[in-house]
A = this chain, B = another copy of it.
Amino acid sequence: MSESAARDERHKARMQRKKALIDEKIAQAQDEYGLLLVHSGNGKGKSSSAFGMVARALGHGIKVGVVQFIKGAASTGEEAFFRRFPEEVSYHVMGEGFTWETQDRQRDIDKAGEAWAVARQLLNDPQIGLMVLDELNIALKHGYLELDAVLADIEARPLLQHVVVTGRGALPGMIEAADTVTEMSLVKHAFKAGVKAQKGIEF
């Protein structure tokens, strides 16, 4: 069976599984399958919650893939930490040097495409039980990646693989496709302007 046929098979199996669940409205189904979780909103905790899930997964012996679509200026604590476990976490920071909506849009699209190629490979790997697509929503919002192609790759993943997508401004199609969507809202942020970003908290 060709790779694409295998992907189609998996997609079909996933969709059938979902449809069966909806149709039968089974109250206490024991089925297990990989969820698509989306963390959006303007509050804190979208990415850190995904990284908490990474810790949780590692505690259960589940292998993890991480692709960060937006590279900040500072190297992050989560990167430094999870790179300690190269056998358990496949960690990729992409998107360095995005020019955003400015100088060279084609270059940004190319960079995002490279990042997605890495993500796609991990989404295809049945050894990976949890896949974090950090700030993917941002790349989608800017139109650097096509939502339909991204969702097709996500849907075609192995049946038991969980995927967490983070970033503010999740597109409606992403929310539609998700199993669980959590909105992180800022209720209070004292001294927002007066306190600089704190190591270990903000990055």
Q: A70 to nearest B CB, angstroms?
A: 16
Choice from B29, B32, B55, B183 contacting A81 with Cβ under 8 Å: B55
Interface residues of A in 69-89 (CB under 8 A from B): 76-82
A129 to B132, CA, bound (A): 27
Residue with the highest number of chain B CB atoms closer than 10 Å, among A80, A175, A189, A201: A201
Complex interface: chain B residues within 8 A of A52 (CB)? 45, 47-55, 78
Chain A: interface residue total (CB-CB under 8 A): 70
For residue A31, CB closer than 8 A to chain B, the reply is yes
- Which residues of A from 150 to 184 have beta carbons under 8 Å from B? 162, 175, 178-184
Q: For the complex formed by this chain, how many copies does it contain in all?
A: 2
CB-contacts of A128-154 with B (<8 A):
129-130
A78 touches B49 (CB 8 A): no
**Nearest CB of B to A3, in Å:** 26
- Tell me if B76 and A195 are in contact (CB < 8 A): no
Docked CA distance A82–B27 (Å)? 34
Least Cβ–Cβ distance between A192 and chain B, in angstroms:
9
